[in-house]
């Protein structure tokens, strides 16, 4: 591991996370137990989160270090999961880069000015030292979080270039991301310029989190599932690879996940991730074979089962455990994020079940 760039207080250097089951599984080693955490575990499903964030804008919460740290820690305290995932939003680095973006309730990210022409791309803010300095609240939040996590590692988080660029083209969320896909086809040079800019933003966002104390990172692609494998390879793979390149010298586990992206597993695995997240549509044993039995996996409980009777849910969890057992490493997670109406007691029961039976 390249350690010369990390602070002496980094959990990977102090030995705080040396016995982490999560990091062992990510590194293809034998963990003490099957580790588990949940995408979106810090968020709307927790009553303490709703109380903490009452009356506070989402992006303001993400950019207030003390608040972001507290929200990140809440599910670790409640569930005893094997990892914390940094509380943030994929558009946070875009806001810090100078984009006029907000998160509107019931809508999602909204950009004041969509990016659809080469002139729009050329007018994007420079990704320079000023941007790196603007990431200071993120580093502060990470430091506050890791100081309280003890032996539990923190996972850094960023949105993948396709998802962020698709939002920027549409100006807001879209059901089919047709605007982004049209731009790829009609003005490929514009798409390439935009995606390359976004890759720098996300890559430096992740790098900041690792340098400040994160022990692993996850690149989350919400909307890449709308693409064919060929489209992904041509238009997304190079820029996702650039994101991972910006943290590769730090040599932490790099998780790559795309919602609805089971058909993209092979090209995504070429982007530079060292762990592949698998959505709930593809059984883990099949994913393991597709990846040549060489790549640690993360996933893939179907979120729909979280509201099922325990007998049905526990049987499903056991099936996930069995199918993931032969992978080089397996971290239990959902095949997507925690739905906001999830009963926290159900997640607690899953954690206990995985730790006992995994």
Q: Is 44 an annotated catalytic residue?
A: yes
Write down the catalytic residue from 49, 79, 167, 305.
Answer: 167
Q: Is 181 an annotated catalytic residue?
A: no
Write down the catalytic residue from 89, 181, 232, 280.
Answer: 89
Give Cα separations from 334 to 131, 178, 181, 218, 248 (angstroms).
33, 27, 28, 14, 26
Q: Is 89 an annotated catalytic residue?
A: yes
Give Cα separations from 294 to 80, 135, 246, 255, 291 (angstroms).
29, 35, 23, 14, 6
Q: Is 349 an annotated catalytic residue?
A: no
Distance, in Å, from the CA atom of 193 to the CA atom of 227, rounded to the nearest integer, reads 19
Distance, in Å, from the CA atom of 223 to the CA atom of 80, rounded to the nearest integer, reads 30
**Three-point CA angle 123, 125, 129, nearest 5°:** 150
Q: Is 167 an annotated catalytic residue?
A: yes
Burial class (CB in 10 A: 0-12, 13-18, 19+), 141: buried
Identify the DSSP state of 334.
B
DSSP β-ladder status, 108-111 and 101-104: antiparallel
Buried b (16+ CB within 10 A) or exposed e, 299-324: bbbbbebbeeeeeebbebbeebbebb
Helices (H), ranges, 27-117? 47-52, 58-62, 65-79, 92-97
Which of 111, 113, 115, 262 lies closest to 173, judged by CA? 111
What are the strands, taking DSSP E only, across 153-295? 154-159, 216-221, 254-258, 275-277
For residue 266, how far is the Cα from the chain centroid? Answer: 19
Write down the catalytic residue from 44, 172, 281, 349.
Answer: 44
Write down the catalytic residue from 40, 242, 254, 323.
Answer: 40
Identify the DSSP state of 36.
B
For 276-292, give the secondary structure using H, E and C: EECCCCCCHHHHHHHCC
DSSP β-ladder status, 216-221 and 275-277: unpaired
Identify the DSSP state of 263.
G
Write down the catalytic residue from 26, 34, 49, 53.
Answer: 53
Catalytic site positions:
40, 44, 53, 89, 167
């Amino acid at each position: 591991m390249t350690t010369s760039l990390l602070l002496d207080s980094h959990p990977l250097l102090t030995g705080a996370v040396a016995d982490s089951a999560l990091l062992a599984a990510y590194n293809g080693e034998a963990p003490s137990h099957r580790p588990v955490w949940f995408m979106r575990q810090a968020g709307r499903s927790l009553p303490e989160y709703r109380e903490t964030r009452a009356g506070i804008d989402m992006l303001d919460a993400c950019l207030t270090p003390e608040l972001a740290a507290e929200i990140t820690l809440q599910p670790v305290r409640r569930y005893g999961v094997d990892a914390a995932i940094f509380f943030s939003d994929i558009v946070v680095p875009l806001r810090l880069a100078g984009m006029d973006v907000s998160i509107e309730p019931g809508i999602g990210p909204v950009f004041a000015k969509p990016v659809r022409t080469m002139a729009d791309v050329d007018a994007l803010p420079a990704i320079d030292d000023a941007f790196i300095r603007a990431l200071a609240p993120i580093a502060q939040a990470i430091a506050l979080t890791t100081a309280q996590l003890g032996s539990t590692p923190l996972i850094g988080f960023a949105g993948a270039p396709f998802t962020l660029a698709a939002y920027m083209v549409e100006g807001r969320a879209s059901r089919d991301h047709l605007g982004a896909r049209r731009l790829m086809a009609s003005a490929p040079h514009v798409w390439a310029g935009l995606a390359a800019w976004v890759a720098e933003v996300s890559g430096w966002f992740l790098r900041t989190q690792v340098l400040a104390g994160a022990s692993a990172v996850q690149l989350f692609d919400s909307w890449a599932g709308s693409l064919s494998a060929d489209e992904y390879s041509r238009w997304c793979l190079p820029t996702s690879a650039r994101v991972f390149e910006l943290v590769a010298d730090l040599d932490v586990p790099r998780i790559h996940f795309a919602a609805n992206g089971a058909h993209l597993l092979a090209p995504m695995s070429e982007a530079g991730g060292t762990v592949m997240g698998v959505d709930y549509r593809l059984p883990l044993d099949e994913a393991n074979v597709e990846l040549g039995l060489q790549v640690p996996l993360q996933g893939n409980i179907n979120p729909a089962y979280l509201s099922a009777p325990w007998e049905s849910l526990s049987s499903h969890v056991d099936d996930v455990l069995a199918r993931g057992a032969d992978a080089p490493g397996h971290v239990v997670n959902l095949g997507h994020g925690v739905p906001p109406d999830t009963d926290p007691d159900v997640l607690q029961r899953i954690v206990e079940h995985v730790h006992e039976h995994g």
